[in-house]
Structure 1
């Protein structure tokens, strides 16, 4: 029968092992939280072409993906204008988060009403590069400071370049160049206003919304965005001045 001393010794060893394992888990969690902020700095130079978490998922699942990086200057202004007017009309003036829209979402949630989207392009870029799809308070809580940090470090042109090169436009189709070729058979530089508008309005749900084969509802949305894009001069000055 084990003595009281031996039982006490084993108990101390078990507690020490538990503390060591817990310390390792805490350090790993801190590393996961800090890593995206390090990557924000590393992704600032234009010669860095990062991949999204969805691309990494496709690689892990052996699906593969299509993404051909293009610089901001090789993307049609039609697409830039359409995406801004569809996704984030205040892109040039906010600091990564549209606080007016966010306040409205919070108020709607507190009142029990259905909430509308308030994700800015910096928030979506942070999600695409560092986080995961799906709605959760945890992801949104991580997304906000990442959007603020990335908007502080990256220029607006770099932000838009990153976003348009990692956005998903169909199963395994990432970035403006692959999307333009897949849906319309042209390069991202040659997208017409109509084609750009169709790509822009498919972004919220690129799996179900096929820009190359739009239904009546998608065509209607594209017409609206096409008109807005045609009047977007004042909104896009931070990108083309």
Structure 2
């Protein structure tokens, strides 16, 4: 009986604390993340409000990472099912994470897999999709995503690679940053070759499609 009461109280307090935490992050920039703190290279970041980020950048990550960002509830079930089928066949593990899931993981959790971490990721994804706007989710994602060795956020990435503010990046430059996001420590942004170069060119071409088909309609009216 005591154990049941303890668990009940634990769940109640956990929900209250996490809802308050997510609610607070809807208004203030996350000061740091677990990934930043644990980065042996240290970290450089420069929070930039959504209005000061080029639409090319947001459209590039939608094209590269999550074309259904504006239409899903945080989970792309089709992508998840596809990833499960591919992983069952063996070979390189593929994920089906949305931008919302990546934001929840980056801000509130830590890197790595495991069912426990994945469960928490799903919970925090639900919370940010419920409490935050899509624009806020995109704003936070673009500011905390790792864009290079010890570099976090698209503003810091733009300054590092192109010596300019992210407000001024071209579609090609935005696409190069987006192409490196899945493996920012391994994929070059400047001087990219092979797969990364081809992938970046593909993303740059799809930026116009994102705008034309209003796949960014939840963040740009």
TM-score by length of 2: 0.87
**1:130-145 correspondence runs (5 A):** 130-145=108-123
Give the structure with the larger helix fraction. Answer: 1
**Which residue of structure 1 aligns with residue 203 of structure 2?**
225
**Which residue of structure 2 aligns with residue 57 of structure 1?**
38
Q: Unpaired segments of 5 or more residues in structure 1?
A: 1-18
Provide the C-alpha distance between the structure 2 equivalents of 1:37 and 1:96, rounded to a whole number of angstroms: 17
CA root-mean-square deviation: 2.6
The reply to whether residue 43 of structure 1 matches residue 21 of structure 2 is no
Provide the C-alpha distance between the structure 2 equivalents of 1:166 and 1:36, rounded to a whole number of angstroms: 19
TM-score by length of 1: 0.80
Secondary structure in 2 matching 1:169: strand
**Which residue of structure 2 aligns with residue 180 of structure 1?**
158
Provide the C-alpha distance between the structure 1 equivalents of 2:34 and 2:24, rounded to a whole number of angstroms: 16
Provide the C-alpha distance between the structure 2 equivalents of 1:224 and 1:44, rounded to a whole number of angstroms: 33
Aligned residues: 215
**Which residue of structure 2 aligns with residue 66 of structure 1?**
44
Q: Residues 190-211 of structure 1, C-alpha deviation per residue, up to 9 Å, x if partnerless?
A: 1111110000010000000121
Q: Which range is displaced more, 134-143 or 179-188? A: 134-143
Secondary structure in 2 matching 1:235: coil
Offset of residue 56 of structure 1 = 2.5
Q: Unpaired segments of 5 or more residues in structure 2?
A: none
